[in-house]
Amino acid sequence: MTQPISRTRCLLGVSGCALLLALSMAEAAHADPKPDIWPTAALPDRAAVEVDASQFLPPAQLVRWQIDLDRRGLRSTGSPAHERYIDALRGRLARAGVPQLYTESVTMTRWTARHWRLDVVDGAPPDRIDVAGYIPYSGDAGREGVVAPIRYLAPGQAPEADIAGKIAVVELPDAPLSGAFFHERALRVFDPDNAFPPSAPYVRTSFMLGPLTAMLDKLQAAGAAGVVMIADTSVAEATDLYAPYDGQLRRVPGLFVDRATGATLAALANRGATLRLSLDAGIDRVRTRNLIGIIPGATDELTVVNSHTDGTNGIEDNGPNAIVAIAQYLSRVPRAALPRTIMIMLSSGHFAGGVGVEDFLARHAHDGLVARIACVVTIEHLGAQEWLPNARGVLVPTGKAEPTALFMPPVPALVDAADALVHRANAAPAFVMPPLNPNGDGSADDAVWPGEGQYFWGRGRVPTINFITSPTYLLNYGVTTANKIDYARLRREIAATTQTLLDLSRVPFSELRAVQPGMRAVTP
415-443 mean pLDDT: 97
Q: In this structure, what DSSP letter does residue 432 have?
A: E
3-state per-residue secondary structure call for 322-357:
HHHHHHHHHCCCCHHHCCCEEEEEEECCHHHCCHHH
CATH code of domain 9-109+287-512: 3.40.630.10
pLDDT mean over 446-450 = 96
**In one letter, which amino acid is 80?**
P
Which of the residue ranges 353-362, 387-396, 449-458 would you say has the lowest mean pLDDT? 387-396
Please, what sign has the CA dihedral across residues 401, 407, 410, 416? negative
For residue 345, which phi and psi values (nearest 5 degrees)?
A: -125, 95
What is the Cα–Cα distance from 285 to 274, expressed in whole angstroms? 35
Torsion of CA 443, 376, 92, 107, to 10 degrees: -30
Q: Is the omega angle on the peptide bond into residue 317 within 30 degrees of 0, that is, cis? A: yes
Question: What is the phi-psi region of residue 438: left when phi exceeds 0, alpha when psi lies from -120 to 50, beta otherwise?
Answer: alpha
Residue 329: per-residue pLDDT: 99
Residue with the bigger pLDDT between 204 and 172: it is: 204
User: What mean pLDDT do residues 146-172 have?
Assistant: 93
Is the pLDDT confidence value at 13 over 60? no
pLDDT attached to residue 35? 58
User: Does the pLDDT of residue 4 top 80, yes or no?
Assistant: no
Mean pLDDT, to the nearest integer, of 198-205? 94
Over 70: is that where the pLDDT of 124 sits? no
Domain boundaries, the chain: 9-109+287-512, 112-184+201-284
Q: Is the pLDDT score of 310 beyond 60?
A: yes
* 471-487: pLDDT as tens digits: 999 999 989 999 999 99
Question: How would you class 131 by CB atoms within 10 Å of its CB: exposed for 0-12, middle for 13-18, buried for 19 or more?
Answer: buried
pLDDT value, residue 522: 60
Q: Are 134 and 255 in contact (CB under 8 A)?
A: yes
Q: φ and ψ at 172, to 5 degrees?
A: -100, 105
Q: Report the distance separating Cα 351 and Cα 366, nearest Å.
A: 27
Q: Is the torsion defined by CA of 449, 450, 454, 458 positive or negative?
A: positive
Nearest C-alpha neighbor of 318 from the set 445, 508, 513, 469:
469
Residue 34 is predicted with a pLDDT of 60
**18-31: average pLDDT:** 46
pLDDT at 21 over 60: no
Under CATH, what is the fold of the domain 112-184+201-284? Answer: Glucose Oxidase; domain 1 (3.50.30)
pLDDT of residue 73: 96
Prediction pTM value: 0.92
Least confident of 169-178, 212-221, 392-401: 169-178
According to the 3-state scheme, what is the secondary structure of 53-80?
HHHCCCHHHHHHHHHHHHHHCCECCCCH
Least confident range from 9-13, 212-216, 312-316, 334-338: namely 9-13
Between 32 and 57, name the one with better pLDDT.
57
Given this model, what pLDDT does residue 126 score?
Answer: 76
Between residues 264 and 19, which one has the greater pLDDT? 264
Q: Which amino acid is at 449?
A: W
Predicted pLDDT at 237: 86
- CA-based R_g, the chain, Å: 23
Q: Which residues, 6 or more positions from 259, have their beta carbon under 8 angstroms from its beta carbon? A: 230, 231, 232, 233, 234, 238
| Residue whose C-alpha is closest to residue 403's, from 388, 413, 420, 424 | 388
Q: In this model, does residue 404 exceed pLDDT 90?
A: yes
Give the rounded percent of residues in the chain with a pLDDT score beyond 70. 92
Torsion of CA 298, 301, 303, 306, to 10 degrees: 120
Mean pLDDT (the chain) is 92
Report whether pLDDT(409) > 80. yes
- Checking if the pLDDT of 336 tops 70, the result is yes
Please tell me the predicted confidence (pLDDT) of residue 461.
97
Band of residue 10 on the pLDDT scale cut at 50, 70, 90 = very low
Total count of residues recorded for the chain: 524
Parallel, antiparallel or unpaired: strands 341-347 and 274-295: antiparallel
Cis peptide before 429 (omega within 30 of 0): yes
357-389: pLDDT as tens digits: 999 999 999 999 999 999 999 999 999 999 999
Statement: residue 74 has pLDDT above 90: yes
Q: Which of 503, 464, 103, 99 is nearest to 294 (CA)?
A: 99
pLDDT for 288 beyond 70? yes
Q: Which DSSP letter does residue 143 get? A: E
As a whole number of angstroms, the distance between CA 223 and CA 252 comes to 8
